[in-house]
Structure 1
């Protein structure tokens, strides 16, 4: 097997993960003549319920604050024991029970419980991520942290040191890895890696940094991917938290992928309410789920199945490039032809560009300016492109130099080029042998649009896409990371406490230097300030 253990840290990440797990659940097939292309053992574990019923639940550990789970109970219907707690108590007296007013189940959850048709979800009806959750979780997966309360005005969980201190206190008392994560790791036959979804611009960034440090001490060679979710509402305190998170996580994780809603307008195919966590997390989840799809496809499809370790090696060319940019493009559904069939050959992206191949030839010589022909730039950049504007004195936008790019396509099969240089070694124009810069994966499994998923994607006529959608994504290590980290450092360095300012500043500068190695544009813009 090649299991992946998932950690979900905080409300933002749990919204994203709920969409992720709903998508995984939709890939299950139940007919004898149906076979899913997804290897469910990668993300799901077998078990036994309280009554001996066989269960199959996500390999995940979910952390959230008090009140963050909404209506989700730690003991679900498969593990709920109806025995009255008072009847098994050794206390001979009459117990006095104080109960907090329970949160009422959403109409959507009630429909799932009763098997009735689900009502359409709206931004106003989704109060918590559990309101649109479709999956049962093992009781060991649910970890509520009662030290802080969700959306508290008295003590909001926002400052970096709160996350660090909370982890330190909990780990000292319980040893979090032993209590929470190790049971899932020990069930894995051959763990592929650890996938972490966490906020990085609030206190969860500090919590995640300490958690990853402990993971690295315990599982030194295991690939660890961190998807760092950021709130659409920005400000200097959040930028400070993000800077600290990148400085800490980049030295411990195998790959760090920041995700943020861009300031630029979305293409016509996306209608997003940026004030809704349900909407924002849906876009993040579709991108993450599509990018990592190939780590859970069945190994029989060797051309397009991969693993976290291999993809890390492809992206981290010089060993110091652990921060990657992520982009996505929803592909407009093809228009029906006169005979009623879909014209698969005429798929377009949102700029109207014709997609004629899923395996273009991308191995080109570098130009003196550092730009590269054939490198794909997709419609929606979720890698905090606004950070490029943080750097003072920037003289316009520069073309980025891509060290490595992993591109994915999922959807209807379209014409492929005969040449596929995915894993070959190529020669540069200077005679140096190097790996190709672009690595392609494709699958005919389109992204599912479930009734739990908001109708954020539109077709050519502006109608909501209701069943599934084709999609491209890309993960890139490129020189824009250098500019973003430098800009972030310049903006926040004076807001960091004196005791940490020099250390954090040096770590950010070192990260930026990692994206200069092996390439120089000859431009003064790239010199240190």
Structure 2
């Protein structure tokens, strides 16, 4: 058994995680449904990689994500920090009768469950729900209820728990006490510098992680998602340093994610200096404690080629996080695939690889602390599409910001996952058909990587009910791309699109150079050069001159590593 422990730190990271675990939960439900799509009943995917079995004090068996989620106090909405499974049989403490004086009670109103969360509760209690009211009967009950739920979520999601349909273990949800959502601007590295170490938080967080790691038979790695645009970056950096010390040989695949609103143009030069220095320091620190880091988050996802067939609201984290989560689901599928033996059936999935395999493949011996680019095709086109359609390779577009286009990198290495691909109308492609099509596309490509690992699964990406209505009117029910738009439909959601074919790719390429050079240049300009306007700011963040120079050296080495012909540069040693 090769388990993965997932860690989510920060608001947008947890939005992505909520969608990610909804995908996993939907796959489990479809696999158990006797009337479900047989493509989801594959034995080639082992969900135990991501999930753990357990038992409540009442003896109820549980199956919950192997997850540690960290967020602001008050950011879990109506969800109990104990989850829902482990609250059974709990009772309020008995009244204290030894005090004869007056008693004053101060309590805040609990967050109310939205219609979706109400429906989950009623479904578990086996009580019908009509328009938010228990009991009663009504024609087309399920359709009406589902439409109301989708409409409720589309109108507004405040917390990531508002659309989560997953049960969590009590050790999974960690609220940073004293750090309230929106209580102050938590938007730079300095403000979160001491959060991890204060009040024994770090010790408690590490103990929670240890709970999940110690029950693993043979952990393959950590999947770490952090919102790196603000104060949660130093929290994650300190946590990653502890992980590196305690689990030395366990690789970390780190996704540094950014949500909408974090790319807004600063209103003053001071804000520009703060943002640019934060970006440089945050990236350098995070990359120092992991084997591979993947920056994710475009300034304007709606205007990018990645959302050609989508209708995205950039200011809506519920929308943007769904696209990121779909890509992360695709890149994680190979970790759950069963390795094929000599007599194994490869008709459902092929190309299993573990976290360490991906890291070694993309980083190799020459590119340590590798920075990888994440590309996605959502949904990916059919493998035998119309002549006016781009190929699958042409539809893969970066979710990583500041990436150079049309770069010919002879040293590029890629790991691609394709699942649920459509061969032609009404026909899902077999594993062998996908492999043949991808290999043919690379042979015809003008530029090609030095090496590409391909993982293929026949199961598409399931679209759960709480998924946002972000599909355009050219996306059909099974994710097929239509020749003409569906009239009267601008955005389509889970009631219209049931599953989609997906392709995602992690690649090591010098196309990441603009991203790295921007951070190195800004650090030198604002923090290292004589008279830099950010020198005092960095000092207030706790960085002395030597530490700032070390950060610059780290970024400089990363630039030299991926820069073409950098091997001719002599070492200063």
**TM-score range, shorter-chain basis?**
0.7 to 0.9
- Counterpart for residue 358 of structure 1: none
Give me the TM-score of the superposition, normalised by structure 2: 0.75
Give distance in 2, aligned partners of 1:159 and 1:454.
30
Q: CA deviation at 1:439?
A: 1.3
1:209-288 equivalences under 5 Å are 209-233=237-261, 234=263, 235=266, 236=272, 237-263=274-300, 264-266=303-305, 267-288=307-328
Query: Runs of 5+ in structure 1 lacking a partner?
Result: 335-344, 356-375, 389-395, 422-434, 525-529
- Counterpart for residue 364 of structure 1: none
The alignment status of 1:129 with 2:160, answered yes or no, reads yes
- Counterpart for residue 447 of structure 1: 461
- Counterpart for residue 220 of structure 2: 192
The alignment status of 1:296 with 2:336, answered yes or no, reads yes
Question: CA 1:353–1:377 in structure 2 vs 1: closer, same or farther (change >3 Å)?
Answer: closer
The alignment status of 1:167 with 2:196, answered yes or no, reads yes
- Counterpart for residue 63 of structure 2: 56
Deviations 1:432-474 (A, max 9, x none): xxx9521111111111111111122332344536111111111
Q: CA deviation at 1:42?
A: 0.7
1:107-506 equivalences under 5 Å are 107-115=115-123, 116=129, 117-118=145-146, 119-121=149-151, 122-152=153-183, 155-170=184-199, 172=200, 175-233=203-261, 234=263, 235=266, 236=272, 237-263=274-300, 264-266=303-305, 267-300=307-340, 303-317=350-364, 318-331=366-379, 345-347=383-385, 352-355=389-392, 376=393, 378-385=395-402, 399-400=408-409, 402-411=411-420, 412-413=428-429, 415-416=433-434, 436-458=450-472, 459=475, 460=482, 461-463=484-486, 464=492, 466-493=497-524, 494=526, 495=534, 497=538, 499=544, 500-506=547-553
Per mean C-alpha deviation after superposition, the further-off stretch among 507-516 and 236-245 is 236-245
Give distance in 2, aligned partners of 1:502 and 1:378.
40
The alignment status of 1:78 with 2:115, answered yes or no, reads no
8 Å Cα contact 2:396-2:504 kept in structure 1:
no
- Counterpart for residue 512 of structure 1: 559
- Counterpart for residue 19 of structure 2: 19
Q: CA deviation at 1:198?
A: 0.7
Larger fraction in helix:
2
Equivalent residue of 1:476, what SS?
Answer: strand
8 Å Cα contact 1:27-1:36 kept in structure 2:
no
Give distance in 2, aligned partners of 1:307 and 1:130.
29
Per mean C-alpha deviation after superposition, the further-off stretch among 50-59 and 402-411 is 402-411
Query: Runs of 5+ in structure 2 lacking a partner?
Result: 124-128, 130-144, 267-271, 341-345, 421-427, 440-448, 476-481, 487-491, 527-533
Give distance in 2, aligned partners of 1:332 and 1:225.
25
- Counterpart for residue 368 of structure 1: none
Give me the TM-score of the superposition, normalised by structure 1: 0.81
Computed over aligned residues only, the root mean square deviation of the Cα atoms, in angstroms, reads: 3.0
8 Å Cα contact 1:261-1:280 kept in structure 2:
no
- Counterpart for residue 126 of structure 2: none
Q: CA deviation at 1:91?
A: 6.2
8 Å Cα contact 1:449-1:468 kept in structure 2:
yes
Give distance in 1, aligned partners of 2:5 and 2:96.
36
Question: CA 1:321–1:76 in structure 2 vs 1: closer, same or farther (change >3 Å)?
Answer: closer
